[in-house]
């Protein structure tokens, strides 16, 4: 997401729920020699305990979607029809498991081609396979569904999920909006590869993550077209997107040969998007090899969404982006998309790095230095929102995208730079995303990695003090000196 000084949402789509309901007891799933137990209906995330599910690991989503907001000239009652084929591996003996899905009608569920019993209540789709699934077994769940997808309203009144504006429709999913348009294990801990096929009305384009495979006219005279996109690198479901509308689509390549696919809504200016190849080249020099097979952007009409989001390979922007916002969302491809927070409490590893990337861009382009940015923030009063909580310990869902996560997270990284020195910190900026590429990471993983670069005991002790003061302690640190 963009930094707080830009339009964005502090989104928290699900109300906090107690852990008492985390383990689902499925009536009627015993008998018949079934020895397994139900998977958990949540992964006990510190801030979103009901998000995600236990008992299995998704390997691949194959999504086939048909979007027809008007059928026979009239507003369709069920404009979205979908089929999700989900390939997973059981991590325990399973008698039942859950998928996250909200607001859509499920019409059938099969597991490995056999009809399965299911219940759908609220956001939980509970599936009972005909036969238990042994631990280690790879299985395919097929869910057919339909309905009118819509937004999720967050605690601050902003929206995520399936959003519609004058320029078209877009699906945005941080932290939980993806459940409004496809069933899945919607927690960042369970990353998977994707194939998405979207059939859309005549004159519309469907743009998603990854690389375009085919564009095929649908048989018949209605002029509908099916667009296919492939993401071969693992992706957290909150980073999946689908934008549908009469976009201007351009395809190009960077000087190094990286494919770039941009989609711009009618009437919108691309802003400084022409500088994306320059930003990518600078980012590679700072952060190492680009972690994906393509890049690009989706520029929405501003009334569609009020914030930018780092959707994998193809960030979404609310109107014409400036170069600072492009730098922020591009940095997320390394920090957040490739290296994904293990829990939502670790989100500073995503937003702190992306914010610090903006500081580095300014520093490298004759603007204010990172030290200037640090000093300006440290001069704020102790009762400012910046010091409301430590970046590694957001207290609730409303705090996920607040200043301490972004700005104080970046300040923490600057203190690490001052302790390690520029040369070792430059090595950290490349080594950290290489070490955890396409994986999940916790704050403890990062602090251990940073300490591994310390040349001596005194430096390690200074880093330990940095974690205590800048990552974990409440309030404004008394000293701006590094390692204190």
Q: Is the pLDDT score of 203 beyond 80? A: yes
Reading the block at residue 44, the tokens are 């006990």
281 and 247 Cβ atoms separated by less than 8 Å: no
Residue 15 has pLDDT above 50, yes or no: no
Cα–Cα dist 280/299, whole Å: 18
pLDDT tens figures, 440-450: 999 999 999 99
Task: Say yes or no to pLDDT of 3 above 80.
Answer: no
Chain segment 243-278, per-residue pLDDT in tens: 999 999 999 999 999 999 999 999 999 989 999 999
Which letter does DSSP use for residue 304 in this model? Answer: T
pLDDT of 397 strictly over 90: yes
- Look at residue 403 and tell me whether its pLDDT is greater than 50: yes
Give the pLDDT band (50/70/90) at residue 153. confident
Q: How confident is the model at residue 217 (pLDDT cuts 50, 70, 90)?
A: confident
Q: What is the mean pLDDT of residues 21-48?
A: 66
Q: Please, what sign has the CA dihedral across residues 46, 316, 102, 235? A: negative
Evaluate if residue 115 carries a pLDDT over 80.
yes
Domain with CATH 2.60.40.1730 in the chain: 19-331
Among candidates 372, 453, 365, which has minimal Cα distance to 410?
372
pLDDT for 1: 72
Fold of domain 19-331: Immunoglobulin-like (2.60.40)
Order across the sheet with 211-217: list the strands. Answer: 114-115, 105-111, 138-147, 80-90, 56-67, 192-200, 225-235, 211-217
Backbone φ/ψ region at 35: left (φ over 0), alpha (ψ -120 to 50), beta: alpha
Note the pLDDT of residue 373. 98
CB contact at 8 A, 363 and 425: no
Nearest CA to 293 out of 104, 438, 148, 449 is that of: 438
What is the mean pLDDT of the segment spanning 224-246? 98
Torsion of CA 244, 236, 112, 182, to 10 degrees: -30
The candidate with the shortest Cα–Cα distance to 207, out of 264, 150, 164, is 264
The percentage of residues in the chain with a pLDDT greater than 70, rounded to a whole number, is: 92
What pLDDT sits at residue 74?
Answer: 63
Residues 224-248 have a mean pLDDT of 98
pLDDT for position 76 = 76
Pick the range with the lowest mean pLDDT from 25-39, 138-152, 279-293, 354-368.
25-39
Q: What is the mean pLDDT of residues 54-70?
A: 96
pLDDT at 7: 38
Q: Give per-residue pLDDT as tens, 325-335.
A: 999 999 999 99
Cis amide linkage into residue 175, ω under 30° from 0: yes
With b for 16 or more beta-carbon neighbours within 10 A and e for fewer, the 63-72 pattern comes to bbbbbbeeee
**What is the tens place of the pLDDT at every residue in 125-150?**
999 999 999 999 999 999 999 999 99
Q: Work out the average pLDDT over 323-345.
A: 99
User: Between residues 2 and 94, which one has the greater pLDDT?
Assistant: 94
What distance, in Å, lies between the first and last C-alpha atoms of the chain? 30
Q: How many residues does the chain have?
A: 484
d(CA 457, CA 451): 10
Which of the residue ranges 51-55, 63-67, 73-77, 175-179 would you say has the lowest mean pLDDT?
Answer: 73-77
Pick the CATH number of 347-472 from 3.40.50.720, 1.10.390.10, 3.40.109.10, 3.40.50.2020: 1.10.390.10
pLDDT at 10 over 60: no
Of residues 483 and 435, more confidence is placed in 435
Predicted pLDDT at 158: 80
Is residue 481 very low, low, confident or very high in pLDDT (cuts 50, 70, 90)? confident
Q: Where in the chain is the domain with CATH 1.10.390.10?
A: 347-472
pLDDT at residue 119 is higher than 90:
yes
The pTM of the full predicted model, rounded to 2 decimals, is 0.92
């Amino acid at each position: 997401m963009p930094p707080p000084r830009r339009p964005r949402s502090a989104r928290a789509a699900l109300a906090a729920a107690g852990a008492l309901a985390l383990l689902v007891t499925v009536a009627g799933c015993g008998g018949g020699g079934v020895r397994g137990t139900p998977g958990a209906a949540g992964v006990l995330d510190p801030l979103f305990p009901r998000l995600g599910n236990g008992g299995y690991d998704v390997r691949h989503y194959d999504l086939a979607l048909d979007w027809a907001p008007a059928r026979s000239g009239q507003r369709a009652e069920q404009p979205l029809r979908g089929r999700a084929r989900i390939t997973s591996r059981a991590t325990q003996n399973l008698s039942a498991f859950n998928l996250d899905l909200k607001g859509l009608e499920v019409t059938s569920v099969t597991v490995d081609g056999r009809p399965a019993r299911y219940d759908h209540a609220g956001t939980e789709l509970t599936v009972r396979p005909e036969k238990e699934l042994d631990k280690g077994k790879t299985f395919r769940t097929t869910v057919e569904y339909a309905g009118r997808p819509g937004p999720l309203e967050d605690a601050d009144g902003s929206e995520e999920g399936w959003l519609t504006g004058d320029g078209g429709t877009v699906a945005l999913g941080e932290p939980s909006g993806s459940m409004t348009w496809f069933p899945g294990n919607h927690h960042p801990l369970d990353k998977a590869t994707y194939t998405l096929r979207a059939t859309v009305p005549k004159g519309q384009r469907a743009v998603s993550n990854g690389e375009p495979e085919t564009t095929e006219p649908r048989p018949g005279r209605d002029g509908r077209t099916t667009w296919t996109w492939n993401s071969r690198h693992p992706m957290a479901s909150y980073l999946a997107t689908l934008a549908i509308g009469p976009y201007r689509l351009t395809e190009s390549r960077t000087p190094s040969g990286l494919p770039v696919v941009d989609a711009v809504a009618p009437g919108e200016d691309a802003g400084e998007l022409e500088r994306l190849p320059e930003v990518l080249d600078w980012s590679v020099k700072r952060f190492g090899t680009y972690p994906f097979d393509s890049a690009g952007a989706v520029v929405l009409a501003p009334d569609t969404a009020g914030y930018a989001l780092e959707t994998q390979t193809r960030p979404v922007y609310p109107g014409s982006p400036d170069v600072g916002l492009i730098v922020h969302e591009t940095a997320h491809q390394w920090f957040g998309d490739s290296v994904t927070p293990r829990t939502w409490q670790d989100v500073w590893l995503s937003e702190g790095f992306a914010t610090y990337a903006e500081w580095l861009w300014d520093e490298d382009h004759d603007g204010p230095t990172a030290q200037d940015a640090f000093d300006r923030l440290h001069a704020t009063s102790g009762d400012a929102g910046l010091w409301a909580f430590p970046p590694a310990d957001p207290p609730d869902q409303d705090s996920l995208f607040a200043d301490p996560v972004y700005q104080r997270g970046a300040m923490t990284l600057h203190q690490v730079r001052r302790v390690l020195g520029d040369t070792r910190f430059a090595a950290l900026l490349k080594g950290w995303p290489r070490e955890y590429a396409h994986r999940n990471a916790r704050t403890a993983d990062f602090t251990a990695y940073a300490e591994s670069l310390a040349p001596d005991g005194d430096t390690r002790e200074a880093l330990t003090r940095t974690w205590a003061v800048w990552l974990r302690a409440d309030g404004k640190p008394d000293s701006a000196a590094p390692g204190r």
